[in-house]
Chain A
Amino acid sequence: KAGVTQTPRYLIKTRGQQVTLSCSPISGHRSVSWYQQTPGQGLQFLFEYFSETQRNKGNFPGRFSGRQFSNSRSEMNVSTLELGDSALYLCASSLRQGSGNTIYFGEGSWLTVV
């Protein structure tokens, strides 16, 4: 079956703009989480959603937000983009919430802020 699908794969935005990234989890998976990867900070947890509810949130400013739809698809939004938001944004899904579940990642969305 299809893996975690993220769109768009690559995008370039200007400082001050906003961006929306989309993620379709593996069929049947209900938990979706987002991570940011940068050379300086490595892989950092943004947030996790399960059944349309945010269950966990990382240490990111309020400019970073997300949501999950009833079909488990998720979007994340970054408003008022800053140069430091340039990163690979990874979406991941798992069958259930909670520990012990294998977490599968998508190919990511490369965001460049100029």
Chain B
Amino acid sequence: SQQGEEDPQALSIQEGENATMNCSYKTSINNLQWYRQNSGRGLVHLILIRSNEREKHSGRLRVTLDTSKKSSSLLITASRAADTASYFCATDTQGETSGSRLTFGEGTQLTVNP
């Protein structure tokens, strides 16, 4: 079953604009990771944010986490055509010694038009 839900399901923007994707989840988490997937390819890791963190940055990416609302957002600034992909959030609820098991949202399909 899917732990997370992503919003919107699809997003189309122009190059240079910012793109914001949201993820909500249902149970308490240890961390949340964002991934990008180009069509037919594997998942590329973007950012990991721990449950005790509120915001992280990596280049043009900014991730926020609100554990009280059980939600996270991914902001891509100054988007490029190459950012066109599906973006997934994945939550990890396992303990430190009990392995890891990611539960994925349904993903947001981002299209950046040149």
Contact = CB atoms under 8 A, between A and B. Distances in A.
Q: How large is the interface on B (under 10, 10 to 19, 20 to 34, 35 or more residues)?
A: 20 to 34
B101 A56 contact: yes
Contacts of B95: 98-99
A34 B40 CA distance: 17
A101 B99 CA distance: 10
B98 interface: yes
Contact of A100 (B42, B43, B96): B96
Given A100-B30, A100-B50, A103-B33, A31 B100 contact: yes
Contact of A102 (B48, B94, B101): B48
A64 interface: no
B2 to A, nearest CB: 6
Main secondary structure of the interface of A (DSSP, over half): strand
Interface residues of A, number: 31
Interface of B: 2, 30-31, 33, 35, 40-45, 48, 50, 88, 90, 92-107
23 contacts: A4-B42, A33-B102, A35-B102, A42-B2, A42-B106, A43-B102, A48-B99, A48-B100, A55-B99, A56-B98, A56-B100, A90-B43, A92-B43, A98-B94, A99-B31, A99-B95, A99-B100, A100-B50, A100-B92, A102-B48, A104-B45, A105-B44, A110-B40
